[in-house]
Structure 1
Amino acid sequence: MIGPSSSAAELIAHLQTLRSEENVAAMARFGIVTSGALGISNPDVKAVARRAKKDHLRAGELWQSDIREARLLALFTTEPKRLMTEEARHWANDFDSWEIVDCAADLFVEAGLDELIGEFAADEREFVRRTAFAMIAGAAFHRKNEPDAANLAWLPLIEAHSCDPRNFVRKAVNWALRNIGKRNRTCHAPALALAKTLAESHDKTARWIGKDAVRELASEKLLERLK
């Protein structure tokens, strides 16, 4: 039985027993890097995490495994308050899949590592840059009590990187813009204005980001919710 006292090696051994080659093939179809994957669904990894409980040092050992599910388990069992900026940077060096990035982004937001957003956005690596905008999207959604000004402050960064054509970056930039705009009426107007500006851009990627964001931010359903 695995539990709070289980070592990283014991948890990895348990994950190995849950391996599914069929699921590995399915994951590849969703753009998930499967070279180190066991084919375990995220809900099942989270179930293991609930039994293992939080353990920051062990999470670092799990991350070193290079196994997809062990790295997810590391993210789910890390203690956010103990996660330091340098450790987050170290993990980001290994990012090679959008799903790992998005789980890590939520963790980084919970840990309050906002100083990494600008740094990650300036990084030319696709998945590190995606992390910046996944963090913005996550903060806009999860931090309900954060001042609107803190979210609106990210709009210039969104505009600055709206011409990055790489799939996992452009989708995250779009996601960040939409999430800011959906927060409330105060954030909606500036986000929609930027979306409309991007929709008229001469750049193909910026135009896609803008038009897609306008489609949601100008929808009757959203406008009704924000009344």
Structure 2
Amino acid sequence: MTPGPASTAEEIIEHLRALGSDENIAGMARFGIATETALGLSNVQLRRVARMVKTDHARALDLWTSGIREARLLAAFTADPKALTLAEARQWANACNSWEVVDTVADLFVAARLEQVLIPEFAADEREFVRRLAFAMIATAAVHLKKEPDSTLLAWLPLIETHAADERNFVKKSVNWALRQIGKRSPACHGPALALAQKLAASTDRTARWTGKDALRELTNGKVRERLGLPA
């Protein structure tokens, strides 16, 4: 069965199971991807399926409910950002158990323009993957919300500073990611982000210092500065 726009969540999951690969599951585990419910499909395969079945918000909610890794990623690919509610976004965030799923739904939440409400809410949450979601959304917004004023992104820098000492792997990497993406967004964003990176690099806290030094390496890179029209 080749799925199409009229396919149900159950039919699509059946198709995904047929494409599954135990070898791919083993490879995913090496990248820190949660594989307990994985079928073993690559994102390339899932994007191909998403193009075939197209957007269907109600069906996306059903796919998510299955708990299957691939079905949840496909749910994020095929949900309708205009239809996504705050309640649904919170339910999805509560169920996130993998950095990969977090980073995928971050795209959807930003496309749904829920970031202003959810970023501070998720950053305040002590759960590792929920907090990661906050900073993944900042990083995504810095790249994709091209019409948004730079001031909107710069307003998130204090939140980055606040949580720069969170030593949990998936949080610290997302905090670093958010800082770097803001700094690379525009000349106006580069200076404040660079200043924060320098401040963190001088911190007595090991995690904050790592975040600052790593961001500094990228933000002072000649190619990055050249792209932004900044002097070498």
Q: TM-score range by the shorter chain?
A: over 0.9
Q: What percent of counterpart residues are identical?
A: 64
1:98: Cα distance to partner? 0.5
Task: State the AA in 1 paired with 2:84.
Answer: L
SS of 1:168's partner is helix
- The residue that corresponds to 2:30 in the other structure is 29
- The residue that corresponds to 2:197 in the other structure is 195
In 2, the alpha carbon distance for the partners of 1:163 and 1:2 equals: 46
Are 1:66 and 2:67 an aligned pair?
A: yes
TM-score by length of 1: 0.99
Match of 1:158 among 153, 157, 160: 160
1:69: Cα distance to partner? 0.3
Unaligned runs of 5+ in 1: none
Cα deviation digits, residues 75-120 of structure 1 (max 9, x gap): 1110000000110000111100001000000000000001100000
SS of 2:166's partner is coil
In 2, the alpha carbon distance for the partners of 1:97 and 1:41 equals: 15
> Paired residues, what number?
227
- The residue that corresponds to 1:207 in the other structure is 209
- The residue that corresponds to 2:101 in the other structure is 100
Task: State the AA in 1 paired with 2:118.
Answer: L
In 2, the alpha carbon distance for the partners of 1:64 and 1:158 equals: 32
In 1, the alpha carbon distance for the partners of 2:8 and 2:210 equals: 47
TM-score by length of 2: 0.97
In 1, the alpha carbon distance for the partners of 2:218 and 2:211 equals: 11
In 2, the alpha carbon distance for the partners of 1:117 and 1:30 equals: 26
- The residue that corresponds to 1:49 in the other structure is 50
Task: State the AA in 1 paired with 2:98.
Answer: S
1:226: Cα distance to partner? 1.1
Task: State the AA in 2 paired with 1:211.
Answer: K
SS of 1:80's partner is coil
- The residue that corresponds to 2:223 in the other structure is 221
In 2, the alpha carbon distance for the partners of 1:143 and 1:42 equals: 23
1:16: Cα distance to partner? 0.5
In 2, the alpha carbon distance for the partners of 1:150 and 1:206 equals: 23
Cα deviation digits, residues 114-170 of structure 1 (max 9, x gap): 110000000000000000000000000111121010000000000000000000000
In 1, the alpha carbon distance for the partners of 2:45 and 2:185 equals: 31
Unaligned runs of 5+ in 2: none
1:225: Cα distance to partner? 1.2
Measured on the aligned residues, the alpha-carbon RMSD in Å equals 0.5
In 2, the alpha carbon distance for the partners of 1:46 and 1:206 equals: 36
- The residue that corresponds to 1:80 in the other structure is 81
Q: Which runs of 4+ in 1 moved over 6 A?
A: none
- The residue that corresponds to 1:121 in the other structure is 123
- The residue that corresponds to 1:137 in the other structure is 139
